[in-house]
Amino acid sequence: MRPGNWSFLDSMWRWASYTTDAGWTQAAGRVAIERLQAERLSRLLGWTRRQSRHYARLWDKLPNRDLRLSDLPPVHKAGLMAHFDDWVTDAAVTRKGVEEFARDPAGIGRPFLGRYAVFSSSGTTGVPGLIVHDAEALAVYDALGSSRMGAMAPAWNWNEPLTGHRYALIAATEGHFAGIVSWERLRALHPWFEANARVFPVTAPIREICAELERFRPTVVASYATVLRALASEKDAGRLDIAPKVLWYGGEWLAPMARDHIERAFCCRVAGDYGASEFLNIAFECERGSLHVNDDWVVLEPVDEDYEPVEPDTPSASVLLTNLANHVQPLVRYELGDSVTRVSKPCGCGRPFPVIRVDGRRDEILRLDDAKGHDVPVMPMALCTAVEEGCGVHRFQVVQTGPRALRVRVEIAPRQRDAAARVKEALGLFLARQGLSGIAVRVETGEIAAHPVSGKFRQVWREKPRHA
């Protein structure tokens, strides 16, 4: 394998093996799934205790026997990042090396040290994370995506090869985020995908995105829920002329009414999943719209404020994730922060995987007036990306207070004295590119209140008029 490139043969061999495993496991049912989960968990815990100095210290006073998840303390992003070099199980992987790699946009989609993928996770909880995934984990994610999200394949037509489609991804492109890194990795591995796939930056103006999509004529469009909603509105208004066969969404919650609107506008199915930088394919959506957990490879524990399990059909205060596939940077009872509800009623699709509901990100599309009074949609993910990548600030909230007015609250960290000014400048540049010069932006500083359930916080929304 040449430095800087993925090994096609190695990746395909692993993918084929885990795809066969995923298909067999689904066919075998709950008993096989639970047995595999237990075996993989036991192997992960033994490896982690031996190879990760950080976990070894955390678990030092625990009995010297096979560990159970309930024996182990939850871990958090801030604590793991603070002990990064002791957390990882490969001495060649260091925080300094990973940070240098992640600072270079030219490395997006390329392997770190010739064998690892690096994902930058959200900093909305105050601490941006860097998650390193090994070859086994990447093969598992590929297999789960192709075999279980395969139910959401273009047009659900197995007689139509995937190579016959054109794939468009609208996403944050300026950092090593999971979506763009995974996309570019697939482009590097598969020449047919590179020839038929394009990436569109979510920070571009909506009219520019629509124009580029019309030129590309995609049959598959993947993006955030709010982006698909904005595209549906442009389609309704006659400003977007494309006919995709399937739309994929992730990263944000999609309301049932919004899903109906998108499907009516494009006359095709909307399919989604639930994933994170820490595990790409936590749950997949079936044709009935239920989210099924891939619990042969991931353990999800919905918990209350004291990290005790919650009953089925009860929204959790948070959720703990254990990744059974990744051994270079083990995640054992890692707090994700989402509110997850285990659904007691089985799904009518007949799949043997448990069903969950997720209370995810619920930001709003802003609608600002340009200088001529024309309504311009501003997508929350685009706005947040512009601020986070433009000035390195992660704790902020943006509220639309009028047709041409925004209020921004910034939580300033030590050594970020000029953060407020930099946020205002970054927003001004972003809005100008959207055709929104002259928008009044008022920046204030102070603590930001977290969501009382998830521990995260609402980041972008429109303030309702007082009389409403």
Residue 249's beta-bridge partner residues?
223, 272
Positive or negative: CA dihedral 425, 430, 436, 442: negative
Strand 220-223 versus strand 167-171 pairing type: parallel
Q: In what order do the strands lie in the sheet with 440-445?
A: 440-445, 405-410, 396-402, 460-462
pTM, whole model, 2 decimals?
0.85
Query: If you search the block for the tokens 């970020």, which residue do you land on?
Result: 416
Q: Which residues contact 148 (CB under 8 A, 6 or more apart)?
A: 22, 26, 281, 284, 292, 294
pLDDT computed for residue 274 by the predictor: 92
> 235 near 265, Cβ under 8 Å?
yes
DSSP H helices, 52-152, are 53-58, 77-82, 84-87, 95-103, 135-147
Question: What's the DSSP call for residue 297?
Answer: T
Q: CA dist 18 to 141, 150, 441, Å?
A: 9, 14, 50
| Cα end-to-end span (Å), the chain | 62
pLDDT tens per residue across all 468 residues of the chain: 333 578 888 888 999 999 999 999 999 999 999 999 999 999 999 999 999 999 999 999 998 777 889 999 999 999 999 999 999 999 999 999 999 999 998 899 899 999 999 999 765 555 678 999 999 999 999 999 888 875 455 544 445 555 678 999 999 888 899 999 999 999 999 999 999 999 999 999 999 999 999 999 999 999 999 999 999 999 999 999 999 999 999 877 788 888 999 999 999 989 889 999 999 999 999 888 899 999 999 999 999 999 999 999 999 989 999 999 999 999 999 999 888 999 999 999 999 999 999 986 777 889 999 999 999 999 888 898 888 877 878 788 899 999 999 999 988 766 667 888 899 999 999 999 999 999 999 999 888 765 444 445 678 888 876 544
pLDDT computed for residue 414 by the predictor: 65
Q: Which residues contact 72 (CB under 8 A, 6 or more apart)?
A: 45, 58, 59, 62, 332, 333
* Angle between helices 8-28 and 178-189 in degrees, nearest 10: 110
Residue 246's beta-bridge partner residues?
220, 269
Q: Which residues contact 272 (CB under 8 A, 6 or more apart)?
A: 225, 248, 249, 250, 254, 285, 291
What kind and span of H or E run contains 168?
strand 167-171
| CA gap 300, 51 in Å, rounded | 23
> 380 near 394, Cβ under 8 Å?
no
| CA gap 360, 134 in Å, rounded | 27
Q: CA dist 272 to 143, 219, 251, 462, Å?
A: 16, 16, 9, 25
Question: What's the DSSP call for residue 158?
Answer: T
Q: Which CATH class is domain 366-462?
A: alpha beta
Selected from 3.40.50.12780, 3.40.50.300, 3.30.450.40, 3.40.50.150, the CATH number assigned to the domain covering 8-359 reads: 3.40.50.12780
Q: Provide the 3-class DSSP secondary structure of residue 250.
A: coil
Q: In what order do the strands lie in the sheet with 334-335?
A: 298-303, 318-323, 334-335
Q: CA dist 212 to 47, 206, 216, 436, Å?
A: 48, 10, 6, 20
Question: What's the DSSP call for residue 83?
Answer: T
Domain ranges of the chain: 8-359, 366-462
